[in-house]
Amino acid sequence: MRVRVAAVALVLLAAACGGNGSESPSQAEPTPLPDDQQTLTVATPGDVFITRDRIFLGIWPDNANICETLVGLGYDFQPTPLLATRWTYTGNNTFRFELRRDVRFHNGAPFNAEAVRHSVERVVEKRQTLNTFVGAGSAKVVDEFTVDITTTQTNLRLAEQISHPFFSIVAAGTDPAERPVCTGPFQFGSYSPNDRLVVNRNDAYWGSEKPRLRQITFRFISDQNTRRLALESGEVDLMWFLAPQQSADVRGRPGLEVAPAPPGAVVDISLNLHGAAPHTLLQDIDVRRALGMSFDARALAEQQWQGNAQVVAGVSPPAVLGPAASLVGSRTPNLAEAERLLEARGWRKGSDGIREKEGRKLSLVGVSQFDFEPESLQFLQAQVRRAGIDLRLERAPDAAAYSAKINSGAWDVDVNYFNQNDANPVRIPAQFWYSKVANARTRLTNPGPKFDGLVDEALSAPDLTTAQRKAAEAINVLVNEEWAAIALTNFPQIYAHRTNVAGFRPHPSVNHQPWTGVFRTGRP
C-alpha cells in the first residue's frame, strides 16, 4: 500500500515538474533560423529621409535603430534611462545628465559628455530644437560623463522632450547626412534614395537586449496596396501602415499576422472657436456639445476600423499622462441630449433633416488629413447627420493642401491626429491649442485662459507626476469643459508581418520602434 502511494506521489510529482522539463508548445519560443538567415525586409511608406539637408537619415521619422538619445521612451510613454543613467534639475534652467559608461560609437570612438555637447550643438545649428528652448552653448561638459543642458527659458519638461529622436547622439567628426555613426543596436550599411536603407547588426552593442537580426533592409514603397502585395508575395517580411479596412482580410491569409500598435496618436476633431463669418457656428458651446455628443467613437473603432482602434478620452495617448489619465473624463455618445441642446438653441429640423435657424442651415465645413480614408469620413458625417447637423468633410490630397486649408481659417472642424513623439505629457495640448505657440491653428482653436493656465503649470511643474496631472486637467478643460476638441479613438497604426517573424512588438510611437527583439524563425 505504502509503495503504491509512494508511486502515485512520484508520478504526480513528476507531472508537476513537467516530466522532461519542456514547456508546452504554446509557450516555447519558436526556433530561430541560423544567424546567416537572420535578415529582415521591411516595407515602409516611402523614403522619408529626403529633406533639404538629410539630417535625420535613419533616425526620424522612421527609426532604423542606428542612433539613441540620452533619455528613452518606454512602451508606457514614460522616460527611461538610455544613454543617460540619471538626470536631475539643478535650478537656473539647468538639467544635469549623468552618462552611461563603456559605450562606444560604431566607429569605436568613446561615448562621453563631449559627444553629447557636439550633438546638441548640431541640433541647434540645424534649428531642430522643437520647443525645448535649447540654444547655442546650452550643453556644457562638466566632466567626462556628466553634461549640463541649460535652456534659454524655463523648461522643466526638457528631460521628457529629449527622448525625441531629434536629440540623437552622433559621433563627432562624422556626417550624419551621409553615414550616421551612433551607438545603436544597428549600424548604417547603405542608403539608396527612394529605394532602400540597409542597417547591419552592431555586435558590440552595449545594451542588455542584443539585436538578433543580422541585417534589416527598409524598402521604400509609397503605394499602400503595393506594400501589402509585396508582403503577400514574400518579397518583404513586414510592412507598416496597413489600412484598417484591410486588416481582417490580411488576418485571414495564411502565413500573415496583423499587429496593431497601442495608442500613440489620437484622432480628434479640432473646432474653430474664433473664426470669421461664416465659420462662427461653433462659437456657441451648446452647438459644440451637441456635435461632440453625436459622435460614437466606439462604432468608429469597431465597425469602421475593424477593432483596430480604442476609444480615447483625451487628445493625448492616455499612457503619457500616467496615473493622471483618469482625470480626463470620458464621454459617451448621447444623440437625444444632442438634439435637445440644439432644439433649445432654436435649431429646428428642416424637411431635409438638417437643422435651421433664422434661415441659416446648421452646415459645417471640415477638412481632414489625407491619411483618413474617405469611408471613415463618410462614417463620421453620417453619425452627426442623425442629429440634424450637415457636416461636409473634405479630405486634403496632400500635406501642403491640408496646411493651406488650416491656415486659411475657412473651416469649422478639422479631423486630424497628432503623434506623441516623446515623454512630455503636455506636448500635444501645448503644441496645437496653447495660445503662446502663435500660429494660424492655435489662433483659431485656443480654448481660453483656464486651459492656458494649466498648460503653463504643466510646463513649469517641478516633477513629472505634477506635470502629468496638470496636463490631464488641461486636456479635461479642452474636451469636457470647453468642448474645443472632440477626442475619438487612437489613430490605427497597423503593422502586418509574416508568421516567420517573431519578437516584433509594436511601439505606440512609430518613431521609437525597436528592432532588437525581432528575429526570423522556421515557421512557414
Partner 1 sequence: MTRYAARRLISVVLALLGVTVLTFALGVLAPGDPAEVVLSRSLGQPPTDEQLAAMRHELGTDRPLPVQYLHWLAGAVRGDFGDSWVRGVRVQDAMVERIPRTVILALSAAGLSLLMGIPVGVVAATRRDSIVDHVSRAGALFGASLPSFFTAYLLIYLFAVKFRAVPVFGFGSAAHLVLPAVTLALGPAAVLARFTRSTVLEVLGEDYVRTAAAKGVRGSAVLFRHALRNALIPVVTIAGLSVGHLLGGSLIVERVFAWPGMGDLAVSAIQDRDYPLVQGFVLFAATVYLVVNLVVDLSYAYLDPRVRLEGRQG
Residue 404 near partner 1 by CB under 8 A: yes
Q: Which uninterrupted H or E stretch holds 402?
A: helix 399-408
- Hey, what's the torsion of the CAs at 198, 204, 209, 215, to 10 degrees? 20
- Contact code string over 209-238 relative to partner 1, x by CB under 8 A: ----------xxxxx-xx--xx-xxxx---
The window from 12-20, 29-37, 187-195, 497-505 that contacts partner 1 (CB under 8 A) reads: 187-195
Report how far residue 381's alpha carbon sits from residue 387's, in angstroms, rounded to the nearest whole number: 11
Distances (CA, A) of 485 to 264, 397, 475: 18, 23, 9
Cell of 410: 475657412
Report how far residue 364's alpha carbon sits from residue 389's, in angstroms, rounded to the nearest whole number: 8
Residue 128 near partner 1 by CB under 8 A: yes
The window from 123-131, 310-318, 332-340, 459-467 that contacts partner 1 (CB under 8 A) reads: 123-131
User: What's the closest the beta carbon of residue 255 comes to partner 1, in angstroms?
Assistant: 12
User: What's the closest the beta carbon of residue 139 comes to partner 1, in angstroms?
Assistant: 20
The CA angle 167-168-170, to the nearest 5 degrees, is 125
Nearest to 295 by CA among 395, 394, 393: 393
Q: Which uninterrupted H or E stretch holds 519?
A: strand 519-520
Q: Are strands 413-419 and 363-368 parallel, antiparallel or unpaired?
A: parallel
Residue 153 near partner 1 by CB under 8 A: no
Q: Tell me the helix, strand and coil percentages in the chain, rounded to 5.
A: 30, 20, 45
Nearer to partner 1, 109 or 437 (CB): 437
Nearer to partner 1, 166 or 188 (CB): 166
Which one-letter amino acid corresponds to residue 287? V
Nearer to partner 1, 403 or 460 (CB): 403
Residue 194 near partner 1 by CB under 8 A: yes
Residue 502 near partner 1 by CB under 8 A: no
Residue 250 near partner 1 by CB under 8 A: no
- Exactly one of 8, 142, 344, 438 binds partner 1 (CB under 8 A); that residue is 438
Report how far residue 139's alpha carbon sits from residue 467's, in angstroms, rounded to the nearest whole number: 24
Residue 399 near partner 1 by CB under 8 A: yes
Residue 166 near partner 1 by CB under 8 A: yes
Neighbours of 506 (CB within 10 A): 18
The window from 74-82, 106-114, 151-159, 188-196 that contacts partner 1 (CB under 8 A) reads: 188-196
- Exactly one of 431, 435, 466, 500 binds partner 1 (CB under 8 A); that residue is 431
What are the two backbone dihedrals, phi and then psi, of residue 302, each rounded to the nearest 5 degrees?
A: -90, -40
Question: What residues line the site for partner 1 (CB under 8 A)?
Answer: 50-55, 60-61, 126-128, 130-131, 164, 166, 193-195, 219-223, 225-226, 229-230, 232-235, 397-401, 403-405, 407, 421, 431, 438-439, 441
